[in-house]
């Protein structure tokens, strides 16, 4: 952030997040809600908007919307009503989008984001259901445009925040917090690159201390949270320069260019559409009962914030570790399953999960819950490492083998003879041999050069292909050479 | 007696007695179409060969209005813009017909997108009234009504948004039913105004209407506006007796502008039904005078949105201007819609767009919806005291072709008695109740509360059984 912005202006940001639900079927028809297929393969007369067809609401999409609303502490509007938003575009087959206008499913909620000065409450203005549009593919060679309607009718929830965010960093943290909640709810892939989560930002500046909002720009076309932050930082600078040079900021839509690192004017709001909203006559409004809403409430999982607090107090693990653990609900669940198996200190389990296990998920490029690993299996492995049966290093190798084969730690140690050699007899023989071949080093040790001891231990490890218990070997060598 | 002149229930009896067959009936119908439809122009698409006999309880061929989807068959709503469109699916009513053995045989003419009361707004040219070829058959289901009246169809399906089944039925001297909103699935009916449209029968008598409604009615999970209410056996409701029924006569309907002959026929109707035990009560529907205005706001608003999908992108015609104006895409939208829609369609799209526009929404659409609620409340209130309401179907008999084409307002007023039933969602039937001195049919309308079609049929059937009007046949 530039210093001028910091000193003179306050940044005001509100975010609009479009979330695609990963329901099995689309919002108003029975087509599979699936991506990456052949163009127009997941379409039917209803989502193609063919004349005479009618929409029927997907009840699961409605449940998801209620779920998100409740998780974001919103008031749920029990009267479910849809409206038509009328505009022309080739990817909009009916010439209108079915959306919710004056009665969104959820309103007046909030979520807490972490800031340097502690948690901050960010208001959720509203969240409403709507259908996604298709995709236009521009073919430069034939100078024509093609339409893929596979995405048409994907259930969307538009989540609009209050203009409570005061910096690009807060916007970034809001998105991270929101995404984690949505992942916990298991309603969406939340993948910005695939477009299952999209974010538009409204940003304006005002002089510090001023009550009125400044003129805002709506920024679109950001493909990652990082891009949202970068675009907002760019806008802060652009708008502050304009204000300082006496220019007026105009209300407009701007597109973020990732390559250029700049935003560009798309269209000004003066020529904005008149969407001519009116109630969708093809969908009869209906009322959710208190019980309907409570039934959804009962399906709410423990949310990240609650989980963070519980894990920390229940297992006495550090805030840092807990923060990492709660980033993936599967990870947290796994930790708790391991703890239930018992036998190892929670801190140690945590280290293994955050360390070697996370590393494996990264190198294998899979999600954590795709790993084949029984909690008991990991716990046995950790016990073996802790009990000195195998070294830490070998333990990590065994972990890889467990993940590859699904075998138990015990099996792998047996089959590959990986147990550390700790019995005096076997080690003594090896040590004898090494000492007899290393006169000069032995001399150094006798003269008190401790570091030379490490060299001999290394030789023992080499000779035993890593199976010797290095601590034990050190002790034996020391005992042998001691006067 | 020619087979094509019989009713469906008469033909079904003959088929049961093995005195005729579905194939013979189809042949008779096709022969009649070939003989007289050149003069009537009830059909826009007729099958080349008669349909073969098919199984099912009610295997009688039927004429279908050109706004109902039949898988693989062209459907256009008699608009240029949909030319060539072949839906890949059957409307729910078509499914139900097929399941009952009823064979779609030919598509009938209509006002473009059902916008009109005369069937003059068709891209295929007008249909003529079989009783007088210089007169309109009414509309918008004029093709279906004329086909049944001319015995070019045994029975037919139409759709009714503001009177589009009942008014042409009245003009053509046949029976037409606008069922309760939600009684019949709209899936596969190309929408005009979604909150008003209903599909219904056009038949030669009340019995056929009851039979056909029984076949097409019922809840459909593809249409969330269809009602999950059991369908009674309407044939059981056909009793020649109205003993103890209280029938209302709304005073607001009997005002200036009603033909003297129409008025006289109403008096005769009352006399017939009183004799059969009905008690008549003069009553009031105080908001009637606002119904036409309300209707033209609500219906055009919905239509403007329903017709937005005709943009040349996916189906129907696509046109490009000879000279580029704006972007190629917008040029294509504009040119396609300019060439594809007729005058009345454009007029209604503009009206509806205006009513929904920001700054006008509250004054028009929102107010219209509020008045609609008041109109509905009038009926709710009335039906606490009475079992049915009778009124003329139309203030006049069929007018001449071209008589009202340059006067849309007077054309709109011909729907004055039928519109209320659509706005309030109640069922209504039109059946013949006399003829003018010039030999044009007059229609009687019977309305009841929602889902009380049984009472509606009972009143209509009783009147029919005690009069001879339905037996009078067109001489072509």
Check A278 against B365: CB less than 8 A apart: yes
Lookup: tokens for B257: 């502008």
pLDDT of residue A319: 87
Confidence of residue A318 (pLDDT cuts 50, 70, 90): confident
User: Once rounded to an integer, what is the mean pLDDT over residues A377-405?
Assistant: 87
Of B85, B222, B311, nearest to A54 by CB-CB distance is B222
Check B225 against A45: CB less than 8 A apart: no
This prediction's pTM: 0.90
Residue with tokens 């209707």: B295
Residue with tokens 């594809």: B340
Check A56 against B311: CB less than 8 A apart: no
Residue B49 has pLDDT above 60, yes or no: no
Model pLDDT for residues B172-194, shown as the tens digit of each residue = 999 999 999 999 999 999 999 99
Of B191, B193, B357, nearest to A274 by CB-CB distance is B357
Chain B, 7 to 36: residues with Cβ < 8 Å from chain A are: none
User: Once rounded to an integer, what is the mean pLDDT over residues B278-294?
Assistant: 95
Q: Do A345 and A460 belong to one domain?
A: no
Residue A104 has pLDDT above 50, yes or no: yes
B75 vs A: CB within 8 A: yes
% of chain B at pLDDT higher than 70: 98
Closest CA to B316 of B301, B337, B298, B330: B337
Q: Do A315 and A265 belong to one domain?
A: no
Check A93 against B365: CB less than 8 A apart: no
How far A86 CA sits from the closest chain B CA (Å)? Answer: 7
- Tell me whether residue A264 is in a domain: yes
Q: Do A44 and A176 belong to one domain?
A: yes
Check A145 against B82: CB less than 8 A apart: no
**Cβ-based interface (< 8 Å): residues of A facing B:** 45, 48-57, 84, 86, 88, 90, 93-96, 145, 147, 274, 276-278, 281-284
User: Once rounded to an integer, what is the mean pLDDT over residues B323-347?
Assistant: 94
CB of A342 closer than 8 Å to CB of A222:
no
- Tell me whether residue A19 is in a domain: yes
pLDDT of residue A345: 86
Confidence of residue B14 (pLDDT cuts 50, 70, 90): very high
Residue A36 has pLDDT above 80, yes or no: no
Q: What are residue A16's DSSP bridge partners? A: A160, A200
Decide which of A294, A327, A350 is a domain's last residue.
A294
Confidence of residue A453 (pLDDT cuts 50, 70, 90): confident
Instruction: Return the DSSP state at A217.
Output: E
Decide which of A416, A439, A459 is a domain's last residue.
A416
Residue B50 has pLDDT above 50, yes or no: no
Q: Do A243 and A346 belong to one domain?
A: no
Q: A459 is in which domain, residue-wise?
A: 424-481
Domains and CATH numbers, chain B: 1-476 (3.90.1300.10)
Residue B411 has pLDDT above 80, yes or no: no
% of chain A at pLDDT higher than 70: 96
Q: Number of folded domains in chain A?
A: 3
- Residues of chain B in contact with residue A50, where contact means CB-CB under 8 angstroms, are 87-89, 314-315
Residue A232 has pLDDT above 80, yes or no: yes
pLDDT of residue A393: 82
Lowest mean pLDDT among A122-131, A320-329, B391-400: A320-329
Q: Do A147 and A270 belong to one domain?
A: yes
- Tell me whether residue A458 is in a domain: yes
Decide which of A294, A325, A358 is a domain's last residue.
A294
pLDDT of residue A270: 47
ipTM score of complex: 0.95
Q: Do A340 and A268 belong to one domain?
A: no
Query: Can you spell out the DSSP letters for A274-316?
Result: ----EE-TTS--EE--HHHHHHHHHT----HHHHHHHHHHHH-
Residue A268 has pLDDT above 90, yes or no: no
pLDDT of residue A415: 83
Residue with tokens 């796994």: A334
Tell me which of A277, A278, A279, A280 to substitute to probe the interface with B (most B C-beta atoms closer than 10 Å): A278
How far B126 CA sits from the closest chain A CA (Å)? Answer: 23
Check A274 against B301: CB less than 8 A apart: no
- Give the angle subtended at the CA of A417 by the CAs of A414 and A422, to the nearest 5°: 110
Q: Do A399 and A450 belong to one domain?
A: no
Q: Do A285 and A319 belong to one domain?
A: no
Q: Do A113 and A189 belong to one domain?
A: yes
User: Once rounded to an integer, what is the mean pLDDT over residues A326-339?
Assistant: 90
Model pLDDT for residues B100-127, shown as the tens digit of each residue = 999 898 999 999 999 999 999 999 999 9
Model pLDDT for residues B19-44, shown as the tens digit of each residue = 999 989 999 999 999 999 999 999 99
Q: In this structure, what are the phi and psi dihedrals at residue B12, rounded to the nearest 5 degrees?
A: -65, -35
Positions of B marked active-site: 65, 140, 164
Chain B, 77 to 106: residues with Cβ < 8 Å from chain A are: 77, 82, 85, 87-89, 91
User: Once rounded to an integer, what is the mean pLDDT over residues B141-164?
Assistant: 98
Model pLDDT for residues B219-266, shown as the tens digit of each residue = 999 999 999 999 999 999 999 999 999 999 999 988 777 889 999 999
CB of B422 closer than 8 Å to CB of B292:
no
Q: ω into residue B140 within 30 of 0, thus cis?
A: yes
Q: Do A125 and A229 belong to one domain?
A: yes
Sheet with strand B441-447: strands edge to edge: B43-45, B104-108, B62-65, B156-160, B198-203, B175-178, B428-435, B441-447, B388-392, B246-250, B279-283
Q: Do A258 and A373 belong to one domain?
A: no
Confidence of residue A3 (pLDDT cuts 50, 70, 90): low
Residue with tokens 């974010």: A199
Confidence of residue A432 (pLDDT cuts 50, 70, 90): confident
- Tell me whether residue A299 is in a domain: no
How far B400 CA sits from the closest chain A CA (Å)? Answer: 32
- Tell me whether residue A228 is in a domain: yes
Looking at every residue in chain A, the average pLDDT score rounds to 90
Nearest CA in chain B to A277: B356
Instruction: Return the DSSP state at A466.
Output: T
Q: Do A40 and A143 belong to one domain?
A: yes
- Tell me whether residue A258 is in a domain: yes
């Amino acid at each position: 952030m530039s210093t001028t912005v910091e000193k003179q202006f306050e940044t005001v940001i509100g975010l609009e997040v479009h979330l695609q639900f990963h329901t099995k079927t689309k919002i108003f028809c029975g087509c599979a809600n699936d991506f990456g297929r052949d163009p127009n393969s997941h379409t039917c007369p209803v989502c193609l908007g063919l004349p005479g067809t009618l929409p029927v609401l997907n009840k699961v999409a409605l449940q998801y919307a209620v779920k998100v609303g409740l998780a974001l502490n919103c008031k749920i509007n029990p009267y479910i009503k849809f409206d038509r938003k009328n505009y022309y575009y080739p990817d909009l087959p009916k010439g209108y989008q079915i959306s919710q206008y004056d009665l969104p499913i959820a309103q007046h909620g909030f979520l807490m984001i972490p800031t340097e000065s502690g948690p901050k409450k960010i208001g959720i203005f509203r969240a409403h259901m709507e259908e996604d549009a298709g995709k236009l593919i521009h073919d430069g060679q034939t100078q024509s445009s093609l339409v893929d309607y596979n995405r048409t009718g994907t259930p969307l929830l538009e989540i609009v925040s209050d203009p409570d965010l005061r910096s690009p960093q807060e916007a970034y943290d809001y998105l991270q917090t929101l995404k984690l909640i949505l992942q916990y709810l298991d309603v969406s892939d939340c993948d910005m690159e695939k477009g299952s989560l999209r974010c538009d930002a409204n940003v304006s500046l005002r002089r510090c201390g001023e009550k009125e909002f400044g003129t805002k720009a709506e920024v679109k076309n950001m493909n990652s949270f990082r891009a949202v932050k970068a675009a907002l930082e760019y806008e802060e600078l652009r708008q502050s320069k304009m204000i300082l040079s006496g220019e007026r900021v105009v209300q407009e839509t701007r597109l973020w260019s990732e390559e250029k690192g700049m935003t560009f004017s798309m269209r000004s709001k003066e020529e904005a559409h008149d969407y001519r909203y009116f109630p969708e006559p093809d969908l009869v409004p209906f009322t959710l009962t208190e019980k309907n809403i409570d039934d959804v409430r009962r399906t709410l999982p423990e949310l990240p914030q609650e989980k963070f607090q519980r894990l920390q107090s229940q297992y006495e693990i550090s805030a840092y570790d807990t923060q990492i653990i709660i980033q993936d609900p599967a990870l947290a669940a796994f930790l708790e399953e391991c703890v239930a198996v018992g036998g190892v200190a929670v801190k140690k389990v945590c280290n293994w999960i955050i360390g070697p296990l996370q590393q494996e998920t990264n190198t294998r490029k899979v999600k954590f819950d795709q790993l084949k690993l029984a909690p008991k299996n990991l716990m046995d492995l950790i016990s073996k490492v802790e009990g000195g049966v195998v070294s830490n290093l070998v333990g990590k190798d065994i972990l890889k083998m467990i993940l590859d084969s699904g075998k138990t730690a015990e099996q792998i140690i047996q089959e590959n003879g990986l147990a550390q050699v700790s019995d005096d007899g076997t080690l003594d023989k090896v040590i004898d041999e090494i000492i007899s071949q290393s006169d000069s080093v032995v001399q150094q040790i006798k003269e008190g050069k401790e570091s030379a001891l490490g060299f001999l231990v290394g030789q023992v490890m080499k000779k035993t292909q890593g199976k010797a218990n290095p601590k034990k070997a050190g002790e034996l060598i020391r005992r042998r050479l001691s006067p | 007696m020619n087979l094509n002149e019989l009713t469906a229930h008469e033909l079904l009896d003959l088929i049961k007695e093995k005195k005729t067959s579905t194939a013979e009936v189809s042949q008779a119908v096709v022969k009649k179409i070939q003989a007289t439809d050149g003069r009537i122009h009830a059909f826009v698409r007729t099958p080349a060969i008669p349909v073969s006999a098919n199984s099912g309880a009610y295997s009688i061929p039927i004429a279908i209005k050109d706004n109902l989807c039949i898988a693989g068959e062209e459907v256009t709503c008699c608009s240029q813009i949909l030319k060539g469109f072949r839906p890949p699916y059957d409307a729910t009513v078509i499914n139900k017909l097929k399941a009952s053995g009823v064979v779609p045989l030919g598509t009938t003419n209509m006002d473009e997108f059902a916008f009109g009361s005369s069937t003059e707004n068709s891209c295929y040219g007008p249909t003529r009234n079989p009783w007088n070829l210089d007169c309109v058959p009414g509309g918008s289901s004029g093709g279906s009504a004329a086909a049944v009246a001319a015995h070019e169809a045994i029975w037919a399906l139409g759709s009714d948004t503001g009177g589009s089944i009942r008014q042409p039925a009245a003009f053509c001297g046949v029976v037409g039913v606008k069922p309760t909103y939600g009684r019949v699935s709209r899936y596969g009916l190309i929408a005009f105004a979604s909150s008003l449209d209903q599909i219904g029968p056009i038949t030669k008598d009340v019995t056929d209407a009851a039979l056909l409604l029984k076949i097409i009615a019922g809840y459909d999970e593809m249409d969330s506006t269809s009602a999950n209410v059991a369908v009674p056996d309407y044939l059981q409701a056909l009793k020649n007796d109205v003993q103890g029924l209280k029938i209302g006569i709304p005073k607001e309907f009997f005002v200036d502008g009603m033909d003297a002959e129409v008025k006289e026929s109403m008096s005769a109707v009352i006399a017939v039904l009183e004799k059969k035990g009905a008690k008549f009560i003069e009553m009031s529907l105080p908001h009637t005078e606002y119904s036409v205005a309300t209707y033209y706001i609500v219906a055009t608003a919905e239509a403007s949105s329903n017709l937005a999908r005709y943009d040349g992108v996916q189906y129907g015609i696509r046109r490009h201007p000879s000279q580029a104006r704006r972007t190629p895409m917008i040029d294509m939208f504009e040119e396609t819609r300019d060439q594809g829609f007729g005058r009345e369609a454009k007029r209604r799209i503009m009206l509806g767009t205006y009513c929904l526009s920001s700054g006008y929404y509250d004054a028009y659409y929102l107010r219209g919806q509020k008045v609609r609620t008041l109109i509905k409340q009038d009926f709710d209130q009335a039906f606490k005291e009475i079992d049915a309401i009778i009124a003329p179907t139309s203030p006049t008999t069929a007018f001449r072709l071209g008589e009202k084409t340059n006067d849309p307002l007077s054309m709109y007023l011909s729907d004055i008695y039928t519109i209320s039933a659509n706005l309030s969602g109640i069922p209504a039937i039109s059946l013949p109740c006399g003829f003018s001195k010039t030999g044009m049919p007059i229609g009687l309308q019977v309305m009841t509360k929602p889902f009380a079609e049984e009472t509606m049929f009972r009143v209509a059937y009783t009147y029919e059984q005690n009069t001879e009007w339905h037996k009078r046949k067109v001489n072509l």
